[in-house]
Amino acid sequence: EAQVTQNPRYLITVTGKKLTVTCSQNMNHEYMSWYRQDPGLGLRQIYYSMNVEVTDKGDVPEGYKVSRKEKRNFPLILESPSPNQTSLYFCASSLWTGNTGELFFGEGSRLTVL
Amino acid sequence: GNSVTQMEGPVTLSEEAFLTINCTYTATGYPSLFWYVQYPGEGLQLLLKATKADDKGSNKGFEATYRKETTSFHLEKGSVQVSDSAVYFCALSDLSSDNAGNMLTFGGGTRLMVKP
């Protein structure tokens, strides 16, 4: 089954404790991206990657890191989480074929930073 | 820059009522337009899309027409069901923009609640 898998789905942590949210896709997609979803703000892009070892900042990259060592994996790293990073996070992937717009989303990871 | 504006929710309807969710956009180039749906506890999934002016996207009884003259892409359904309760996101894709790596620009989302 084609899917994007994120882990953990739920996490409560404390300020400053490093954490990683993993994302894996089994569709051989070149493009992967991380979004955060906050009430009234829709989805805002954090980082994206157009292929292995190619990553770039989205609209809200501050406080986050990513890596793309393998095509299928795109982890999101919070080196020193802060309460304003409490949010619902989504990983998404797609074939990079222009304005097709069909992103495949994971089920989301709800993060609470105390 | 690109932006998408949706009507604020929640929208509460009775089963079999007519649905309209308004969406307008601003884009520098010639975007493609999309509606995504998010059911409770799930990720977003593509509902329908239109890639050029006057195109109509449709799926599962939902429709939206790409209106370039009014920069709009309103979502409609003639008779909603309880199972349509979800959050709906309008989005655009404009790879001619400065941030071409942002594949989709999303609106804020509109929650739809359908009562039996």
Longest dimension (CA), chain A: 40
Over residues B58-73, the pLDDT tens digits come to: 999 999 999 999 999 9
Q: Which structure tokens are listed for B42?
A: 């799930």
Chain A positions touching B93 (Cβ under 8 A) are 99-101
**Is B4 in CB contact (< 8 Å) with chain A?**
yes
Cα of first residue to Cα of last residue in chain B, in angstroms, is: 41
Which residue in the set B32, B44, B103 is minimally distant from A94, CB to CB?
Answer: B103
Query: Quick one: CA dihedral A77, A79, A81, A85, positive or negative?
Result: negative
Chain A positions touching B107 (Cβ under 8 A) are 42
- Quickly count: other Cβ atoms within 10 Å of residue A53's Cβ: 9
Q: Judge: A56–B101 Cβ closer than 8 Å, yes or no.
A: yes
Minimal CA separation from B18 to chain A, in Å: 24
- How far are the Cα atoms of A18, B18, B77, B83, B91 from residue B14, in angstroms, in the given order? 46, 9, 13, 12, 26
Mean pLDDT of the B84-108 span: 80
Q: Which structure tokens are listed for A105?
A: 């989303």
| Model pLDDT, residue B100 | 58
Mean pLDDT of the A80-84 span: 97
Chain B positions touching A43 (Cβ under 8 A) are 44, 89, 104, 106
| Model pLDDT, residue B90 | 95
Chain B positions touching A92 (Cβ under 8 A) are 43-44
Over residues B97-109, the pLDDT tens digits come to: 555 566 788 899 9
| Model pLDDT, residue B41 | 85
Mean pLDDT of the A2-11 span: 94
Q: Which structure tokens are listed for B18?
A: 């007519």
Which residue in the set B51, B95, B104 is minimally distant from A103, CB to CB?
Answer: B104
| Model pLDDT, residue B99 | 54
**Is B57 in CB contact (< 8 Å) with chain A?**
no
| Model pLDDT, residue B50 | 94
How many angstroms separate the CA atoms of A48 and A56, rounded? 6
A109-113 and A10-13: which strand pairing? Answer: parallel
Q: Judge: A94–B49 Cβ closer than 8 Å, yes or no.
A: no
